[in-house]
């Protein structure tokens, strides 16, 4: 999975696809086991909250719900386009993400291994 917290993503499918052109937002949370992520301002629902000591007002609370990772594409920092990502070994032996359109590095995935150092 090549999407991390604080990445900028573009929503490509689903109910929130047409909200602004293009719909780009920051990733707040990634659930790797379920294959879902929470994106800022996307897939908002109302949770009805009963009055209590913790919440004396009660009412409807708006919150973001998870969406599938397959519904978003990562936005490259250098070219600014929504793109698929790949993984490659950097010169120092570390594994890094890269943009498939422009080839720019998007950060490391794993530290360098002793056997792969050049």
Confidence (pLDDT) at 7: 93
Q: Say which residue, 109 or 1, is predicted with more confidence.
A: 109
**Contact criterion met (CB below 8 Å) for 47 and 58:** no
Give CA–CA dist 2/43, Å, rounded: 21
Confidence (pLDDT) at 83: 92
Look-up: residue for tokens 């990772």? 69
CATH class of this structure's domain 1-75: mainly beta
Domain spans of the chain, in order of start = 1-75, 84-118
pTM here is 0.80
Locate the DSSP E strands across 12-91.
Answer: 24-31, 36-39, 44-49, 59-64, 67-68, 72-75, 82-83, 85-89
């Amino acid at each position: 999975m090549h999407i991390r917290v604080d990445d900028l993503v573009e929503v490509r499918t689903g109910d929130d696809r047409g909200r602004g052109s293009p719909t780009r937002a920051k990733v707040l949370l990634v659930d790797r086991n379920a294959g879902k992520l929470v994106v800022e301002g996307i897939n908002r629902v109302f949770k009805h909250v009963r009055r209590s000591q913790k919440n004396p007002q009660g009412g409807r609370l708006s919150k973001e719900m998870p969406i599938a990772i397959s519904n978003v594409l990562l936005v490259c920092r250098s070219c600014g386009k929504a793109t698929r990502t790949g993984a490659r070994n950097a010169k120092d032996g570390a594994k890094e993400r890269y943009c498939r359109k422009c080839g720019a590095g998007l950060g490391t995935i794993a530290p360098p291994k002793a056997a792969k150092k050049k």
